[in-house]
Structure 1
Amino acid sequence: MSATPLYGGIEAGGTKWVCAVADAGGRVLETGVIPTTTPGTTIAGAVRFFRRHRTLRAVGVGSFGPVDLRPDSPAYGHILATPKPGWSHTDVVSPLRTALGVPVGLDTDVNAAALGEWRRGAGRGRETVAYLTVGTGIGLGAVVNGRLLRGLLHPEFGHIRVPRDRTRDAFAGSCPFHGDCLEGLASGEAMRQRWGRRAEDLDDPAVWELEAGYLAHAVVNLTYVLSPERIVIGGGVAKRPGLLSRIRARAFDLAAGYPAAPALTVRAAMDEYVVGPELGDHSGITGAIELGMCS
């Protein structure tokens, strides 16, 4: 057992929970993966993982959601109504805090990814950074002036409206709440429903031009609303070779040179403004550990 202070992180996803222990410098010492089954079984597996480390000081959790992040709410620390069967209204924080006897920090999985990239990845040295994840769904996390963005709840950027040419794209959308919101048009699930195949199996350039167009509108909307210094786009769909280049080109055209910031007026600067995650698949767990360090 290590005698030095350790910090835990959990990337709590709908398929698996990735658990990690790191030292005070953020160096990961051990990781483990727990399948996301029932809440009781999954949380118990995480507790067993962390109980092996007696110098654990705190744990941070970046969870799929939506989650209640308001400390004064009776439902603080709970996953709210979610499509994940059996997980609606699950208290994530209290069982971990009680079993491990340490503080537990909580945020959304995508806010955790934003924090990870801000502290140790593509957002280092910047005050305001946005992380847009495009996978099965679409989500947004952001660090604004050095603090994670929270408010009424947490950002639900996947449900913004974007322009749709119904002649070009007759698909009604996959979102059960809004139909053709951004997530309903451009998420991995939307692509699967529209084209009948998973995004990774689609090779038609027209498919990816359409996808890039929707995501470029998202980039411009995000730029005008939040004014981040960098936008990081991650998630499984975003790994498609060439997709980021298409998004940048289309976003640059949509911005039409306004306002007069280099990223929107110099094409080469857009390549440094909209980027992939420097931490790759480790953005979320890195940010979860950082949540623990801040608890």
Structure 2
Amino acid sequence: MYYGAVEAGGTKFVCAVSDENFDIIHRVSIPTTSPSETLSHVFEFFNQYSLQSIGIGSFGPIDVNKDSDKYGYITSTPKPGWGYFDFIGTMKEKYNIPMAWTTDVNAAAYGEFRQGSAKENGSCLYLTVGTGIGGGAVVDGNVLEGFGHPEMGHILVRKHPDDSYEGVCPYHQNCLEGVASGPAIEKRYNKKAQELASDQKVWELEAYYIAQALVNYTLILRPEKFILGGGVMKQEQLFPLIRQQFVTLLSDYVDTPALEKSIVMPELEDNAAITGCLLLAAEAKEQI
């Protein structure tokens, strides 16, 4: 029995096939170009196997509302060629098997919840900080979705008094993604994040914005664990700074778990989303 998984990113698609124990037996990375070209390579990969089901975690925004006539679509993405693309419909034309459909960050949250940093917890929130910022949550074992999926990277944050940068987001400017994503760091300082690794002030400002977001998420969702991934979070000096800012901003308003154990890196590292997709694929098979 084989399960398929697609972590569909704006830069690359990671596709994997696992056995029934979720041990990956084959995986590939495919550059994200046009939908037709990219999916032709996806099909070429999956055609080698007799799949039971497929789990897909995609960059967004996407439509996850099963009552919508655009369910399964990537919707208002700025990525050229992918706006209002019928992802699930195109996959279903090729493979008439059960498919799970969610965001890449929801898939990562679910992977970490089931097999990673939050496997001992009842809830978690996964935030990726990189080219963009996105978040997914698992509550009582279920991926959090409603009319749509969360867009945690676009919450509005309070600007730091010493930060004059307007923000990189074309929709909101000073949303979290606008002021704390990798491109925001680069444009604010005219250097790539890795070139700024030793500059304490850079990371204190970054921690201020991320901690603001975590305080907001805490007050709304009260997750047991925050898992912070993505390229920017590979700057491990951020974690103690975020915890310090979190304490200051929350100001003892509500109780939280010990921060050293609840604001953490992904245990599955870069495999969180693909693991989540495989787990969701198995569940999609069970639900038929």
Distance 2:278 2:33 in 1: 23
Selected match of 1:125 from 120, 145, 148: 120
Percent of aligned positions that are identical: 45
The Cα of 1:251 is off from its aligned counterpart by 0.6
Query: In the alignment, what sits opposite 1:271?
Result: 260
The Cα of 1:98 is off from its aligned counterpart by 2.0
Distance 1:125 1:210 in 2: 32
Query: In the alignment, what sits opposite 2:273?
Result: 284
Describe the SS at the equivalent of 1:209.
helix
Name the TM-score, length of structure 2 as normaliser.
0.96
State the superposition RMSD in angstroms.
Answer: 1.1
Distance 1:164 1:96 in 2: 42
Query: In the alignment, what sits opposite 1:113?
Result: 108
Describe the SS at the equivalent of 1:7.
strand
The Cα of 1:233 is off from its aligned counterpart by 0.5
Query: In the alignment, what sits opposite 2:45?
Result: 49
Residues 4-23 of structure 1 correspond to what in structure 2 (within 5 A)?
5-23=1-19
C-alpha contact (below 8 Å) 1:219/1:251 kept by paired residues: yes
Distance 2:153 2:255 in 1: 27
Matched, 1:64 2:59: yes
Selected match of 2:27 from 15, 28, 31: 31
Partner amino acid for 1:122? S
Distance 2:255 2:117 in 1: 23
Greater shift in the superposed pair: 252-261 or 284-293 = 252-261
Partner amino acid for 1:10? V
1:99-148 Cα deviation digits (max 9, x unpaired): 12211211000000001000110110222110011011111100111111
The Cα of 1:6 is off from its aligned counterpart by 0.7
The Cα of 1:206 is off from its aligned counterpart by 0.5
Partner amino acid for 1:17? F
Distance 2:261 2:253 in 1: 17
Selected match of 1:243 from 224, 238, 241: 238
Query: In the alignment, what sits opposite 1:266?
Result: none
C-alpha contact (below 8 Å) 1:113/1:141 kept by paired residues: yes
Describe the SS at the equivalent of 2:210.
helix
The Cα of 1:78 is off from its aligned counterpart by 0.6
Query: Which segments of 5 or more consecutive residues in structure 1 lack a partner in the other structure?
Result: 264-268
Selected match of 2:164 from 163, 166, 170: 170
Distance 1:165 1:109 in 2: 30
Query: Which segments of 5 or more consecutive residues in structure 2 lack a partner in the other structure?
Result: none
Query: In the alignment, what sits opposite 2:76?
Result: 81
C-alpha contact (below 8 Å) 1:51/1:100 kept by paired residues: no
Selected match of 2:184 from 177, 186, 190: 190
C-alpha contact (below 8 Å) 2:61/2:76 kept by paired residues: yes
Name the TM-score, length of structure 1 as normaliser.
0.93
Query: In the alignment, what sits opposite 1:181?
Result: 175
Query: In the alignment, what sits opposite 1:40?
Result: 36
